Amino acid sequence: MRSTTRNAAGGVLPAAFRASLPVLLGYTTIGLAFGLVLVGAGLPWWLSPLMALVVYAGAAQFMGVGLVAGGAGLAEIGLLTLLMNARHAVYGLSLLGKFSGAGRLKPYLVFGLTDETYGLLTTVEPPRGADPIHFYAALTALDQCYWFLGCLAGAILGAALPFDTTGLDFALTALFVVLLVEQIRAQRRPEPYLAALAAGALAYFLVDPRDFLLASLALAIGGLLLLRGRLGAAGAAGAGAASAVVREGGNGAAGGDR
């Protein structure tokens, strides 16, 4: 019995490594770009691995480099990071069942819940006979190790060699484009995107560039609050129409049977 338990536990790490290979390729590459961008922005190289350890959020780290280099305050950085990563609250709610018996590992599992790790946790099954919590923890820790190594390598390379980082900061834009595409696939109504576009245009012309992000977010939230009634009514109407189609289809099928 003990031998079986040891064998199952010994199979957790190799299984987690195999499952996380796609994340290894992505995290080390983007982490390398982040380290180079951070050093290119004039920040000390050691901030890159430090942020990989205590922040561990790709898009937020890229954004943080620009904000820190531009002299933004801690309150602004904290608020923008919170808004950017608010989607992770939904991830956590959907994993309450899987993490229910995590015990002392639960805080780390919650901290390490990135988009890619969430994808693995919800699609990959633990090895037979292994403790699921240990498998989830191994996946989470390996993913963060990949990100840490990429950030560290990029920072060391950027500090040791003269490197032209022109264009690498586009990695942040690319990350936001990916997030936008995922959001459009989930929410196809045009109003939220039009509100965001209008808010960005107004903030661009009305406020100082340093206040652009906060101003545009505030305007976008205000616009969505104003449209809340319309969006809710349209959603209810759409649901009603879908129900009517289902009922008509059912009646038609029943009529055909008769």
Cα–Cα distance, 141 to 114 (Å, whole number): 11
pLDDT of residue 245: 40
Residue-wise pLDDT for 121-164, tens only, equals 988 889 988 899 999 999 999 999 999 999 999 999 999 887 77
pLDDT value at 56 more than 90: yes
Kindly indicate the confidence band of residue 108, based on its pLDDT and cuts at 50, 70 and 90: very high
pLDDT in tens, 62-106: 888 888 887 777 888 888 888 778 778 878 888 888 898 899 999
Backbone φ and ψ for 227, nearest 5 degrees, come out as -90, 5
> Which tops the pLDDT comparison, 172 or 73?
73
| pLDDT at residue 248 greater than cutoff 60 | no
Looking at residue 257, what is its pLDDT?
46
Lowest mean per-residue pLDDT among 8-22, 27-41, 148-162, 173-187: 173-187
Higher pLDDT, 43 or 190: 43
Residue 85's pLDDT is 81
pLDDT > 90: percent of the chain: 28
CA-wise closest residue to 116 among 54, 62, 178: 178
The pLDDT of residue 232 = 65
- pLDDT category of residue 236 using cuts at 50, 70 and 90: low
pLDDT confidence of residue 216: 81
- Average pLDDT (16-34) is 90
The structure's pTM equals 0.68
User: 86-98: string of b/e by CB count within 10 Å (b at 16+)?
Assistant: eeeeebeeebeee
Q: 200: pLDDT confidence band, cut at 50, 70 and 90?
A: confident
Conformation bin of residue 42: beta by default, left when phi > 0, alpha when psi is -120 to 50: left
Closest CA to 32 of 48, 50, 54: 48
Binning pLDDT at 50, 70 and 90, where does residue 234 land?
low
Name the token pair of 45.
Answer: 């190289």
How far apart are the C-alpha atoms of 169 and 63, rounded to whole Å? 10
Q: Are 29 and 57 in contact (CB under 8 A)?
A: no
Asked whether 32 and 148 are in contact (CB, 8 A), the reply is no
Token look-up 């129900």 returns 243
